[in-house]
Structure 1
Amino acid sequence: MNAAEEGNSPIYDRLIAERGDVVADVARSAERLCRETAEAVDFGAVTGGWGRGITRYPA
């Protein structure tokens, strides 16, 4: 186990206290970006659901 895993990292702990947990912020931002990208690239909305078992014909 390294010092960070044991909780024996005073420098890292001080940096988090001063600057915030940048690693956690980046992880949250990446997760949000993945969700937004998946929604933006959802072709079901463009095709009216065709290919998903939805019977809908273009107007």
Structure 2
Amino acid sequence: MTKSMTGYGRSVASGNSLTVTAELKGVNSRYLDIKCKLSKAAAFLETSLKDQLQQSVGRGKLEL
């Protein structure tokens, strides 16, 4: 498990006339703080995405 992080990542996936772009920014922080900025069409994914991030990151301020 990552203990702390500072970084930025971006990925694009396409298929079946759908394109998804994801960006993740992270900075060091004492606690884990996850903010998700999703479109209305993808809002139902927020809980699942946060759960997946919590399994991989121990602390930090993350913006997806």
TM-score, normalised relative to structure 1: 0.24
**More relative contact order in 1 or in 2 (CA 8 Å, sep 6+)?**
2
TM-score, normalised relative to structure 2: 0.23
More helix by share: 1
More strand by share: 2
